[in-house]
Structure 1
Amino acid sequence: MKQPYHLIFENSEQFKDYYLNDETEPIVYLPNFNTINIIVGANNSGKSRFMRELLKEEKIILVNTDILEKYNQVVVDHNNSPYRNGNLEELSFSKFYQVFINNKKKIDSNRYFNINTFKNRFDVLQERIYTKSGVKKFFIPTLRTAHSLYTAVHERMLDPRQINSTYTRLDEDVYLETIRKNYSLDKKIDIFTGMDLYEQVLNSRNAEKNVRNRFESFEKFLSVNFFDGKQIDIVAKFNKGESKKGKTDSELILIHVGNEENTRELHHLGDGIQALIILMYKIFMAEDNSFFFIDEPELNLHPGMQRLFLEQISTNKELVNKRLTYIISTHSNHFLDLTLEKDNVSIYSFAPKQVEKGKDNQFIIKNVNRGDNEILKHLGVNNSSVFLANCSIWVEGVSDRNYIKAFLKSYIDYLAKNEDEKYKSLKEDIDYAFFEYAGSNIEHYLFENEIDKEDEEVINKEINALALSNKIFLLADSDNAKKSTKKGIRLKNLEDLATNNLKPRVIWEVREIENLLINKIWEKILINFCNKKLLSEHREEIQNKISEALKIVNSNDYKKEYIGVFLNKIDKEIGKIDGVNVLNKVYKENEGVFGTLIPKSDLSKYVLEADFDWEDLQESDEIKQLTEDVYKFIIDSMN
Structure 2
Amino acid sequence: MTEKLYYWAENLENYTSDNDKETNNYEVIEIKRLNFFIGKNNAGKSRFLRNLFQNTQGQQIYNSLQFRKLQAFTNHLIHSNQYNNHTYFTHFINTVEQIKPSNIGSANSNFSNSLNYLSRFGQLSSLYTNNNKSQAETTFSQEIEQNLNPIFTNPKFYIPILRGMRPVTDLDEKYPYIERAQKDYFKNQNKFNHENIITGERLYHELKVHLLGKPQQRELIKQYEEKLSQYFFDNETVTLIPYIGKDDNGHDNDVVHIKIGEDDQFPIHKLGDGLQQAIILTYEAYIKSKDKEGNTEIHAFFIEEPELHMHAGMVRQLMNFYLNETPHYYFFTTHSNHLLDMADESDQVMIQKFVKQPKKEDPTKFDFKIYRCDRDRDLLASLGVRPSSVYLANCTIWVEGITDRLYITKYMEKYLSELESSNVELYKKYRRFMPNYHYTFVEYAGSNLVHWCFSDDYADQLEDKGLSAKAVASEMLLIADGDIQGKADRVHVLKSELKKENYIILECKETENTLPKDSIIRIAQKKFSKMKSKTKQGFNIEKLKEINSLDYFDHKDYGIGKLLDDQIRNPRTSAEKTAFADGTGVGTIKYKLDFCREIIKYFDENPDWEMTPKAKDLCIRIFKHIEKCNSN
Question: TM-score surpassing 0.5?
Answer: yes
Q: Counterpart of 2:164 in structure 1: which amino acid?
A: T
Q: Alignment partner for residue 306 of structure 1, among 289, 293, 315?
A: 315
What amino acid is the match of 1:5?
A: L
- The residue number in structure 1 matching 2:591 is 598
Report if aligned partners of 2:168, 2:176 keep a CA contact under 8 Å in 1.
no
What is the Cα deviation at residue 383 of structure 1? 7.8
2:61–2:100 Cα contact (<8 Å) kept = no
Partner of 1:215: 221
Q: 2:82: which partner in 1?
A: none
In 1, Cα distance between equivalents of 2:152 and 2:6 = 17
Cα distance change on mapping 1:419 and 1:43 into 2, 3 Å: closer
Cα pair distance change 1:383/1:326, threshold 3 Å: farther
Matches within 5 A, 1:389-538: 389-415=393-419, 417-420=422-425, 423-424=429-430, 425-438=432-445, 442=448, 445=451, 457-459=463-465, 462-467=468-473, 470-479=474-483, 481-482=485-486, 487-498=487-498, 504-517=502-515, 521-524=516-519, 526-531=521-526
Please say if 1:55 is aligned against 2:45.
Answer: no
- Displacement of 1:476 in angstroms is 2.0
Deviation at 1:65, TM superposition (A): 6.0
Question: CA deviation digits over 1:323-354, x for unaligned, max 9?
Answer: x2322111112223433323233333223332
Q: Does 1:566 align with 2:575?
A: no
CA displacement, residues 170-222 of structure 1 (integer Å, 9 cap, x when unaligned): 86221111121122352433111111210011112234566555534422321
**Counterpart in 2 of 1:350?**
354
CA distance in 2, matches of 1:56, 1:69: 22
Question: What does residue range 345-384 of structure 1 map to in structure 2 within 5 Å?
Answer: 345-355=349-359, 361-382=365-386
User: Counterparts of 2:415 and 2:100 in 1: how far apart (Å)?
Assistant: 53
Q: CA deviation at 1:256?
A: 4.3
Q: 1:221 to 1:114 in 2, by over 3 A?
A: same
Runs (5+) with no aligned partner, structure 2: 20-24, 74-87, 290-296, 453-458, 531-541, 572-577
Alpha-carbon distance, 1:613 to partner: 8.5
Name the CA distance, whole Å, in 1 between partners of 2:405 and 2:317: 17
> Are 1:338 and 2:342 matched, yes or no?
yes
Are the counterparts in 1 of residues 401 and 443 from structure 2 also a CA contact under 8 Å? yes
| Pairs within 5 Å for 1:108-123 | 108=113, 123=138
Say whether the 8 Å CA contact 2:400–2:479 is kept in structure 1. Answer: yes
Contact 1:414 1:613 in 2 (8 A): no
Counterpart residue identity of residue 434, structure 2: K
Q: How does 1:123-272 map to 2 (within 5 A)?
A: 123-129=138-144, 135-149=154-168, 172-185=174-187, 186-189=189-192, 190-208=196-214, 212=218, 214-229=220-235, 231-239=237-245, 242=246, 247-257=250-260, 260=262, 262-272=264-274
Q: 1:255·1:263 contact (CA, 8 Å) conserved in 2?
A: yes
Give the superposition deviation at 1:389: 0.9
Tell me which residue corresponds to 1:634.
Answer: 626
- Quote the Cα distance in structure 2 between the aligned partners of 1:37 and 1:199: 30
CA pair 546-176 structure 1, distance change in 2 beyond 3 A = farther
How many angstroms does 1:227 deviate by?
3.8
Assess if the C-alpha contact under 8 Å between 2:165 and 2:255 holds in 1. no
The farther-off stretch of 218-227 and 107-116 is 107-116
Tell me, in whole angstroms, the C-alpha distance in 2 between the residues paired with 1:627 and 1:60. Answer: 47
AA of the residue aligned to 2:228 = L
Give, in whole Å, the separation in 2 of the partners of 1:629 and 1:335.
Answer: 26
CA distance in 2, matches of 1:354, 1:432: 43
DSSP 3-state at the match of 2:513? helix
Change (3 A) 1:49 1:55: same
| C-alpha distance after superposition, 1:220-274 (max 9, x if no partner) | 32121234445544232212xx28x98335234234456x363354333322211
Q: Structure 2 CA distance, aligned partners of 1:149 and 1:262? A: 25
State whether residues 563 and 597 of structure 1, in contact with CA within 8 Å, keep that contact through their aligned partners in structure 2. no
Partner Cα distance (1:533, 1:101) in 2: 43
Q: 291-300 vs 557-566, which deviates more?
A: 557-566
After superposition, where does 1:26-45 map in structure 2 within 5 Å?
Answer: 29-45=27-43
Instruction: Please state how far the C-alpha of 1:414 moved relative to its aligned partner.
Output: 4.9
CA distance in 2, matches of 1:561, 1:56: 56
Kindly tell me: are residues 559 and 359 of structure 1, through their superposed partners in 2, closer, same or farther at Cα, counting changes over 3 Å? Answer: closer
Could you tell me how far 1:367 is from its partner in structure 2?
A: 2.0
| Kept in 2: contact 1:515–1:555 (CA 8 A) | no
Q: Please, what TM-score do these two structures have when normalized by structure 2? A: 0.73
- CA-to-partner distance for each residue in 1:372-396, whole Å, 9 max, x for gaps? 3312222222487761111111212
Instruction: Call closer, same or farther: CA 1:116–1:18 in 2, change over 3 Å.
Output: closer
CA, structure 1 residues 331+117, in 2 after alignment: closer, same or farther (shift >3 Å)?
Answer: closer
Distance in 2 (CA, whole Å) between partners of 1:121 and 1:568 is 45
- Report Cα offsets for 1:135-193 as digits up to 9, x if no partner: 4121111101123336xxxxxxxxxxxxxxxxx68862211111211223524331111
Matches of 1:330 and 1:557 in 2, distance apart?
Answer: 42
1:148/1:412 Cα in 2 relative to 1: closer, same or farther (>3 Å)? same
Aligned counterparts of 2:518 and 2:14: Cα–Cα separation in 1: 54
Per-residue CA deviations over 1:11-57 (Å, capped at 9, x if unaligned) read 53xx12434579xxxx9833324333322222222322232233333
What are the residue-to-residue correspondences of 1:581-592 with 2, within 5 Å? 585-588=579-582, 590=584
Structure 1, gaps ≥5 residues long: 76-88, 151-167, 447-452, 536-544, 576-583
Query: Aligned pair in 2 of structure 1 residues 438, 352: CA closer, same or farther (>3 Å)?
Result: same
Q: Residues of 2 paired with 1:191 and 1:311: CA distance? A: 23
Change (3 A) 1:274 1:66: same
Contact map agreement 1:8 1:62 (CA 8 A) in 2: no
Equivalent residue letter for 2:510: E
SS in 1 for 2:340: helix
Q: Is the 8 A contact 2:60 2:152 kept in 1?
A: no
Query: Quick one: percent identity of the two aligned structures?
Result: 26
- Name the structure where strand makes up a greater proportion of residues: 1
SS in 1 for 2:308: coil
Question: 1:124: Cα distance to partner?
Answer: 1.6
| 1:276 counterpart residue number | 278
Q: Deviations over 1:546-604 (max 9, x none)?
A: 9963424632663322212332355479x9xxxxxxxx9544465x9854353442265
Deviates more, 1:600-609 or 1:141-150: 600-609
The whole-number CA distance in structure 1 between the counterparts of 2:221 and 2:393 is: 31
Look up the match of 1:539.
none
Q: Secondary structure at the match of 2:165?
A: coil
Q: Distance in 2 between matches of 1:338 and 1:557?
A: 29
Q: What per-residue deviation string (whole Å, max 9, x for no partner) do you get for residues 494-530 of structure 1?
A: 331115xx9652525221122233xxx2225532332
Instruction: Give the structure-1-normalised TM-score.
Output: 0.72
CA distance in 2, matches of 1:459, 1:249: 65
Task: Give the C-alpha shift of residue 462 in structure 1.
Answer: 1.6
Q: Kindly indicate whether residue 285 of structure 2 is the aligned counterpart of residue 290 of structure 1.
A: no
Pairwise CA RMSD of aligned residues?
A: 4.5
Letter in 2 for 1:319: T
Q: List per-residue Cα deviations over 1:273-316 (Å, max 9, x = no partner).
A: 11111111121122633221111111011111111122232x31
Deviates more, 1:28-37 or 1:277-286: 28-37
Q: Distance in 2 between matches of 1:394 and 1:133?
A: 43
Distance 1:52 1:121, change over 3 A: closer
CA 1:547–1:2: 2 relative to 1, 3 Å = closer
Q: Structure 1's 251 and 385: CA in aligned 2 closer, same or farther, altered over 3 A?
A: farther
1:412-460: CA deviation from partner (whole Å, max 9, x where unpaired): 4455542456943311111001122249x835759xxxxxx99995436
- Cα distance, 1:374–1:114 mapped onto 2, change above 3 Å: closer
Determine the C-alpha separation between the residues in 1 that align with 2:93 and 2:337: 34
